[in-house]
Structure 1
Amino acid sequence: MAGNNLPYGEGVSIHRPSIFNGENYAYWKIRMKIFIEAIDIGIWEAVENGPFVPTVLLKDSNDIFEKPLKDWTKDDGRQVHYDKKAKNIITFTLFIDEFFRLTHEGTNDVKRSRKHTLTREHKMLKMNSGESVCDFQKPFTHLINHLTDLDMTFEKEELNLKVLQCLDRTWQQ
């Protein structure tokens, strides 16, 4: 059982990608690049360039819109297919707990960025003129729930004070 000493006990094959076990990311990344390029260089380009969305430019308004499936060219279909293959290969290499963590929470960088954005949004939150407290409650609760999901905690007193600070000036009369 010499294979048990390898950092990748499963997936050490030219036919199956290496399973990422959470360690030796740089090594795994190189192996994955080689594996994916061996299948098709277009798939690796999809990994490098991110998702491909077929779009169309409206000449009269210079607006860009997503192309309906019926209007896709063969090249559009091929590029989207590369994306799907890349996603399939990469998700196949993750342990199930890592797959679900990334799917539902995102990477640490994404979480940090999201937390920063939501914190800023929380600080800038104000009730719009003419908005009722009931109308304000929904986006406020939604924002607090998202921040709580990112491990931020709030005391009831803090939340109540925030609501009072956000009230429109008409509530002060």
Structure 2
Amino acid sequence: MRIFLKSIDYNIWKIILNGPDVPTKQNADGEVVKKEDNEWTEEEKKKVELNSKAINLMHCAISFEEYRKVSKCKTAKEIWDKLRLNHEGTKQVRETRIDMLMKEYEMFNMKEEESIDQMFERFSIIINNLDAMGKSYSEETLVRKT
């Protein structure tokens, strides 16, 4: 989904990661407060629209089951964080998954009745899962492993 969102507009991806850019101002007491809609500049309106576009894109890209989990979220960042937690788990769960995948990678061998294609598919799944969790290997290392 990252590539999909970045390809539409990189600024949408930044809104998803950092949260919406809500226009603010200083009031008479020197406090920073949210601007009213009618006070927004054209540039501020465009930045606020990015959050709505990001929400719309993510709603269109996910299944109905996942949509039900995030439908109450108000910002694209909230949706992303909830989806990420649902798919990757907490930091501790994520580290455990990485450890398990690394062990699978290290112990990887061709099975007796397995074709080259089946072996390569199994290897690709391990590598792709590791990559999705932020652990990647150089092509050189992967070629030597297979």
Please, what TM-score do these two structures have when normalized by structure 1? 0.39
Please, what TM-score do these two structures have when normalized by structure 2? 0.45
Q: Larger Cα Rg: Structure 1 or Structure 2?
A: 1
Choose between structure 1 and 2: higher helix proportion. 2
- Relative contact order higher in (CA < 8 Å, ≥ 6 apart): 2
